[in-house]
Amino acid sequence: MYVSITALKPKGIISFFRFWLLAIPTFQQAQSAKGNLYRSVKHMNGYQCTLTAWESRDIMLEFMRSGAHLKAMKAFHSIATGRTYGYETDAIPDWKSAYDLLMEKGKNY
Cα Rg for the chain, rounded, in angstroms?
13
Full-model pTM: 0.92
CATH of the domain at 80: 3.30.70.100
Q: How many CA atoms lie within 13 A of 65 on its CB side?
A: 6
What are the pLDDT digits (tens) for 23-50? 999 999 999 999 999 999 999 999 999 9
Residue 37: which domain range?
Answer: 2-108
Name the band, by pLDDT with cuts 50, 70 and 90, for residue 3: very high
Please, what sign has the CA dihedral across residues 33, 36, 37, 40?
negative
DSSP assignment, residue 66?
Answer: S
Quote the number of domains for the chain.
1
